[in-house]
Structure 1
Amino acid sequence: MIPGETILEVRGLTKRFGGLIAVNDLSFDVREHEVMGVIGPNGSGKSTTINLISGALRATSGSVSLEGHDLTAVRPHETARLGISRTFQLVRILPALSVLENAVAGAVFGHKRRWGRKADVFATDLLERVGLADKVAVPVSALTYIDQKRLELARALAGEPEVLLLDEWLAGLNPSELQVGIDLISSLRAEGRTVILVEHVMDAIRSLCDRCVVMNSGKKIAEGTPAEVLSDPHVIEAYLGDA
């Protein structure tokens, strides 16, 4: 699907932790129906950026806006109501709840606020969508790692987000699981969803992303299509070093 108008704006975003500047004057736009990759070496500020966009962290300076709504000082649950859903670098499911209840939580506290039977039906459809149709009644503790990731994705999708944030969702998967994961994200792209994808798997970046922002030491060092940024000498140096 062809990307549309700008839906998310990041302007001058900065986050300091004492003397450490984790994100430094970062700016980029995300267009509707676009998959935007955020890539860079470990410690470059990618996950901090996701935490700032989702409201998990408060920016030191700069701004994030979604369809004209300023998210900079908004708390995480309010961000979810406005249309931002996310997964986490380390999977965070709700162990005291069932598989279905985990997905329902996304619907109840998400953008459209579904309740009761409507939330149950909607969540069940999403569990089927991500490949968990036969796991609805399974205890969360019995899920495999990839199924935990599927569940977290279903919960995020149940929030019916305007923008979906995937923070290294493919990390830790074996080769066969990795292909399943890439295919699943590809199907979300085909539906026209707007996604910010933080990822180290370059095959996924090449196949899934329309554009990429490359970070190093908290700063943006490149922006463009995957082919453009992955051939940029500054990006190559950031990943591989001067040699």
Structure 2
Amino acid sequence: MTAILSVNRAQKKFSGLVAVNDVSFDVREGELLGLIGPNGSGKTTMLNLISGALRPSAGEIRLKDERISGHSAHHIARQGVARTFQLVRILPSMTAEENVMAGAVFARNRLWGADAHGLARKLLARVGLDGRADMPVASMTYIDQKRIELARALASDPRVLLLDEWLAGLNPTELQIGIALIDDLRREGRTIIMVEHVMDAIRTLCDRCVVMNTGTKIAEGDVAKVLSEPEVVRAYLGDDDDA
């Protein structure tokens, strides 16, 4: 399977702190890759490097044949990388439909007017918000705001979709709804990188996973095999003699 995204020896330093240290991995077209690890392991920083929110200190990131590392976030978005955030980012003064339209207007295949309206309503229905296009997003529940953010990302028709703990903060019922929605996107053939702490979601959804700890990659491969590796278990649970 062809790699659509390649991370090659990426590094990010913040003064004396190395948040991402010489990390490499490929993402295959149509794959859902889990990016996991304990808190502070560098996962979100890696998504920030891919999306252009941060520039790498060293290494490179390529989308197909184009080097995207070092470019601005809006350039990378127009090349086909879209994302959601750990803390939901919505446009609170706008309606649900207007929030999703923003994704279409600034996408790689920009849509305007009736086309943008039509796509926004279609995607709202797609994420379970049919009939709520005119609602102000500030008055919506947390999971519905997450759905708005996801629909806005999908409106850009991304080649690679980055989900940063999209399932975080959901109750058990909402969590099952969220897992089913991501599974539907996977079955559509979308390429997704998912940062997530919910292991049930990782086991259910991911084709492969990359495990990071203290900024480095410590494992990569089949989900069940990787999660059983001693170094991964230690990263999450600590050594038996730790006090």
TM-score range, shorter chain: over 0.9
1:135 and 2:142 matched: no
Partner secondary structure for residue 117 of structure 2: helix
CA distance in 1, matches of 2:132, 2:121: 10
Aligned match of 1:48: 45
1:18-69: per-residue Cα shift (whole Å, max 9, x none)?
Answer: 0000000000000000000000000000000000000000110111110111
Unpaired runs of 5+ in structure 2?
none
* 1:93 match: secondary structure: coil
Provide the rounded CA distance (Å) in 2 between the counterparts of 1:143 and 1:52.
31
Structure 1 counterpart of 2:150, one-letter code: L
Match of 1:154 among 133, 151, 156: 151
| Aligned equivalents of 2:99, 2:236: Cα separation in 1 | 37
Instruction: Name the amino acid aligned to 2:125.
Output: E
> What's the counterpart of residue 179 of structure 2?
182
Aligned to 1:117: 114
2:33 is matched with 36
State the alpha-carbon separation in 2 of the partners of residues 21 and 6 from structure 1: 27
Deviations 1:172-201 (Å, cap 9, x if unpaired)?
A: 000000000000000000100000000000
Deviation at 1:73, TM superposition (A): 1.1
Shift of 1:83: 0.3
Q: Deviations over 1:115-154 (max 9, x none)?
A: 1111110111001000111211111111100000000000
Q: Where in structure 2 are the equivalents of 1:1-243 lying within 5 Å?
A: 4-243=1-240
Q: Specify the SS of the correspondent of 2:131.
A: helix
Aligned amino acid, residue 106 of structure 1:
G
**2: CA distance between counterparts of 1:122 and 1:69?**
28
Deviations 1:201-243 (A, max 9, x none): 0000001000000000000000011101100000000000011
The one-letter amino acid paired with 2:159 is E
The CA distance in 1 between the partners of 2:94 and 2:63, in whole Å, is 31
Query: 1:157 is aligned with what amino acid?
Result: L
Contiguous gaps of at least 5 residues in structure 1: none
Cα RMSD of the aligned pairs, angstroms, is 0.6
Q: TM-score, normalised by structure 1?
A: 0.98
Deviation >2 Å, runs of 4+: none
Q: How far did 1:114 drift?
A: 1.0
The two structures have a TM-score, normalised by structure 2, of: 0.98
Q: Which amino acid aligns with 2:162?
A: L
Mapped to 1, the partners of 2:14 and 2:155 lie a distance apart of 33
Structure 2: distance between partners of 1:74 and 1:133? 36
**Contact 2:8–2:61 (Cα < 8 Å) also in 1:** yes
